[in-house]
Amino acid sequence: MAGEVPPRPRVLAYPTPTSVHLLVLVLAVLAGGLFVGSWSFNIAAGSRWARTVAACLEDPPADPFAAQAAFSACTSGVERERAASAVAGAVVVVLVALVMLVVLRAS
């Protein structure tokens, strides 16, 4: 036991720290893009969204499940626009990041 050599650790068992850091960076950029898209929608069409939601809440059915279904159906159009705006923001931020990567790599 005194002369026994400890086994060598398996260095390839885990991803490299740089891979994990890159993944975290990509996820942070995507989350930032989603935020920018949602923020720009709120600036451009937030009041229309609020008016639509308020109008959909005016006369709900008595049954809670029917009220939820009616509310979802009523607000589906503006919610789709809001989601599309968030995704568009993420796409724009990723495209800007890729352009910066190409430009910085070229110089």
Neighbours of 17 (CB within 10 A): 8
Indicate whether 53 belongs to any domain: yes
Indicate whether 45 belongs to any domain: yes
Residue 31 structural domain: 27-106
* DSSP per position, 34-88: HHHHHHHHHHHHHHHHHHHHHHHTSS--SSHHHHHHHHHHHHHHHHHHHHHHHHH
Structure tokens at 83: 């989601």
Indicate whether 91 belongs to any domain: yes
Residue 104's pLDDT is what? 82
Instruction: Tell me the C-alpha distance between 85 and 19, whole Å.
Output: 30
Indicate whether 96 belongs to any domain: yes
Residue 2's pLDDT is what? 66
Q: How many domains does the chain have?
A: 1
Indicate whether 90 belongs to any domain: yes
Q: For 58-106, how does the pLDDT look when each residue is reduced to its tens digit (9 = 90+)?
A: 999 999 999 999 999 999 999 999 999 999 999 999 999 889 888 888 7
Residue 40's pLDDT is what? 96
Residue 1's pLDDT is what? 59
Name the residue among 40, 22, 48 with its Cα closest to residue 91: 40
Indicate whether 10 belongs to any domain: no
Q: For 8-57, how does the pLDDT look when each residue is reduced to its tens digit (9 = 90+)?
A: 777 677 767 787 888 888 899 999 999 999 999 999 999 999 999 999 99
